[in-house]
Amino acid sequence: MPQETQEDHHVWGENLADPAHADQVVELARRARGDAAPPSPRPTVVTFDGPAGSGKSSLARLVADRLDAPVVHLDDLLPGWDGLPAAPALLTTQVLVPLARGEQAAFRRFDWHAGEFAELVPVPTADFLVVEGVASSVGVARAYADVRVWLEAAHDVRMQRGLARDGDGFAGHWEAWAAQEARIFEADGTAAHAHLRLQTDGPALP
C-alpha cells in the first residue's frame, strides 16, 4: 500500500494498538532472545502478520518503541498492488538472510507512486528487529522469525480502518488485495504457525 510517513505510522499506532497486546509480544521477544544459546549476534526477529487493517503497523510500532528496535514495513519492499506473492522472498533475501549471517542488511524500497524500485534502505543494527506487513511470516520468511504474531479482525472493521488510513487510494484495490491475501494465507497456513494470535476487535484467540 502507498507508504505512510514515519509520523503516520506512529500516530496510527497510538490510536489503535492495545498496550496489553504489546506487553505479550515484548515478553515473548525478550524470552526468545534470552533463550538463545549461545547468545546470538543476530537480531531477534519479531514479525506482525495478518490481513490489511488488522492493526499490524500499530502494534509493531508500539512494540518497537519498547524494544528499541528498528521496523521494516513490508509495504516498502513489495512491488505494487499485485506484488504480494513476491514479498516473502524479497524480505528473506534482502533482510533476513544477511542478518542471519551477521552481515549488514538493506532493501530496495518500492516507490508506489512511480511504480518502480527506488533507493537502497539500510536496516539498522540492533538486538531486535520488528517486521510488519502482510506475508511477513509466510513461506521462506518463517524460519527466520523468532516471534511470529498473527493479527486479525472482522472484515468490515478492517476495511473501515484501511480506508480511514489510506483513503480513496485503497478503495479501488481493497477486494482484489483481500483476495490475494486470502489465497496466500490459505495456501501457507500462516495463522497456524504463529506463536501468538490476536483478535484486534475482541478477545485474544486461543
What is the span of the domain harbouring residue 112?
A: 6-199
Name the one residue in this structure whose C-alpha cell is 497486546: 21
* Residue 170 to residue 46: CA distance in whole angstroms: 27
Q: Is residue 54 domain-resident?
A: yes
Q: Is residue 94 domain-resident?
A: yes
Please check whether residue 139 is in contact with residue 88, taking contact to mean a CB–CB distance below 8 angstroms.
yes
pLDDT at 167: 59
In our burial notation (b when 16+ CB lie closer than 10 A, e otherwise), range 20-41 reads ebbebbbebbbebbeeeeeeee
Q: Which of 54, 80, 90, 83 is nearest to 2 (CA)?
A: 80
pLDDT at 43: 95
Q: Is residue 1 domain-resident?
A: no
pLDDT at 5: 39
pTM for this prediction: 0.86
pLDDT at 162: 65
The CATH number covering residue 177 comes to: 3.40.50.300
pLDDT at 28: 97
Q: Which three cell numbers stand for residue 105?
A: 542488511
Q: Is residue 139 domain-resident?
A: yes
| pLDDT tens digits, one per residue of 66-75 | 999 999 999 9
* Residue 12 to residue 9: CA distance in whole angstroms: 5
pLDDT at 52: 86
Please check whether residue 140 is in contact with residue 88, taking contact to mean a CB–CB distance below 8 angstroms.
yes
| pLDDT tens digits, one per residue of 57-111 | 999 999 999 999 999 999 999 999 899 999 999 999 999 999 999 999 999 999 9
pLDDT at 37: 59
Tally of structural domains, the chain: 1
Residue ranges of the chain whose pLDDT lies below 50:
3-15, 203-206
Q: Is residue 55 domain-resident?
A: yes
